[in-house]
């Protein structure tokens, strides 16, 4: 009889534990499903943002960057999008999306844990050389320099007449200590084109996040001819 009593208690405990076990397992499965759903939603969101950043529509890119800025403020910025934002930030400097993307990178760099990743993404952007010239008669030389830099492997997206802002003497400016070597290579190309250049490129690194950007300012004292003086 004592054995029967023990079996009865075992049966009672088993009957009580089975629903508990089912509940616990159900909760675990539910939590895993919720986590999986959240991860899928995050993946879909990031894929949509990435697609929009690659759009040729300027307004679409601006809206996407505004969304990314909001995510940065909420500490929910997806680091996997950094390279895409950096690519937008390296576009036409007069484009609103380019300017906004640059500000976005600077904002992301101030976020905890993102500074190194932002620096890495920025350094993966191809080096761009922007050419400014002081007078209309220098346009042909500026265009020839642009072609030479492109042949040397640089991205030189355009030349720009800057009468009021150009210095008297030709200057080469770079904005990150990491690209001093590239700035020296640009200097060599200018020397081949018979420009009068400073001994050393001008280091404008101010500690902020900068893209791989070099500026060539053809000075007012530079002639419009490529013939050595």
C-alpha 176/C-alpha 124 separation (Å) is 13
> Given this model, what pLDDT does residue 200 score?
92
> Given this model, what pLDDT does residue 78 score?
82
pLDDT in tens, 143-166: 999 999 999 988 888 899 998 889
Residue 51: other Cβ atoms inside 10 A: 12
Query: What length does the chain have?
Result: 229
* CB-based contacts of 206, cutoff 8 Å, min separation 6: 175
Beta pairing, strands 171-174 & 213-217: antiparallel
pLDDT bin (cut points 50, 70, 90) of residue 39 is confident
DSSP 8-class letter at 199: S
pLDDT in tens, 9-26: 556 665 665 666 666 666
∠ at Cα 193 (190, 197), nearest 5°? 40
More confident call, 122 vs 132? 132
C-alpha 97/C-alpha 90 separation (Å) is 10
**1: pLDDT strictly greater than 60:** no
pLDDT bin (cut points 50, 70, 90) of residue 27 is low
**DSSP secondary structure string, 81-109?**
GHHHHHHHHTS-TTSHHHHHHHHHHHHHH
pLDDT in tens, 171-224: 999 988 888 999 999 999 999 999 999 999 999 887 766 677 899 999 999 987
Closest-CA residue to 122 (of 141, 140, 109, 134) = 109
> Given this model, what pLDDT does residue 168 score?
94
Q: Mean of the pLDDT values across residues 72-81?
A: 83
C-alpha 169/C-alpha 171 separation (Å) is 6
**Fold of domain 128-217:** Alpha-Beta Plaits (3.30.70)
Structure tokens at 181: 């070597």
> Given this model, what pLDDT does residue 32 score?
66
Kindly list the domain boundaries of the chain, sorted by start residue. Answer: 1-125, 128-217
Contact 213, 128 (CB under 8 A): yes
> Given this model, what pLDDT does residue 219 score?
95
pLDDT bin (cut points 50, 70, 90) of residue 138 is very high
Structure tokens at 204: 């404008």
Helix (H, G, I), strand (E, B) or coil at 153: coil
């Amino acid at each position: 009889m004592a054995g029967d009593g023990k079996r009865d208690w075992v049966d009672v405990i088993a009957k009580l534990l089975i629903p508990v076990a089912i509940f616990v397992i159900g909760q675990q499965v539910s939590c895993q499903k919720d986590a999986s759903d959240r991860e899928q939603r995050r993946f879909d969101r990031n894929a949509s943002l990435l697609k929009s950043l690659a759009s040729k529509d300027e307004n679409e890119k601006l809206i996407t960057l505004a969304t990314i800025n909001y995510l940065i403020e909420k500490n929910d910025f997806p680091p996997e999008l950094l390279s895409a934002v950096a690519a937008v930030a390296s576009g036409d400097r007069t484009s609103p999306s380019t300017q906004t993307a640059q500000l976005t990178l600077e904002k992301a760099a101030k976020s905890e844990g993102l500074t190194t990743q932002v620096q890495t993404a920025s350094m993966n952007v191809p080096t761009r050389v922007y050419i400014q010239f002081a007078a209309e008669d220098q346009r042909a030389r500026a265009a020839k320099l642009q072609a030479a830099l492109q042949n040397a492997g640089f991205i030189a997206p355009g030349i720009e007449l800057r009468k009021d802002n150009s210095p008297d003497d030709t200057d080469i400016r770079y904005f990150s200590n990491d690209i001093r070597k590239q700035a020296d290579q640009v200097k060599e190309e200018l020397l081949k084109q018979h420009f009068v250049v400073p001994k050393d490129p001008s280091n404008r690194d101010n500690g902020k996040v900068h893209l791989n950007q070099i500026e060539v300012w053809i000075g007012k004292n530079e002639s419009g001819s490529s013939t050595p003086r």
